[in-house]
Structure 1
């Protein structure tokens, strides 16, 4: 599957780097069905809205993935989701 190299090339969610079929389905379930929605979403809010069947948060790497997709759709370069782990940890530490 070829991924977009810039936001203008992302026509469906799975065109966005780091977003596969399962993550795309999660985004659609949350009311974010297009790349344009990913551009305007708040990655932290989206992560907190995504819960498993028991109401538990998913692994924090999901938040990293949302952060990577959001940055990409706002003109950032293609980066793997794990590039956002350190940033996420710092932001969550400050929020406590």
Structure 2
């Protein structure tokens, strides 16, 4: 199995429940909260995914400028693509 195969899905999750099921499959019994939920110095939980219900804008949004689907972001800095890939896979496995 290659590194890429470890996280390959049969289909892209279309909702939060499907995403959570896919994540649970990757975690293989490890606790979601301990692996993927981080805390700020002030003790606030940082979830690995914020579904639209939790991220509704406070101000009105122009519907023509909104993209739909998943918006997943993680910053990785590395000196080469292979080092970056290693860091990303480590985060996926260990909740970086």
TM-score interval (norm. to shorter): under 0.3
Q: Which has the higher helix share?
A: 1
Q: TM-score, normalised by structure 1?
A: 0.24
Structure number, greater radius of gyration = 2
Q: TM-score, normalised by structure 2?
A: 0.24
Q: Which has the higher strand share?
A: 2
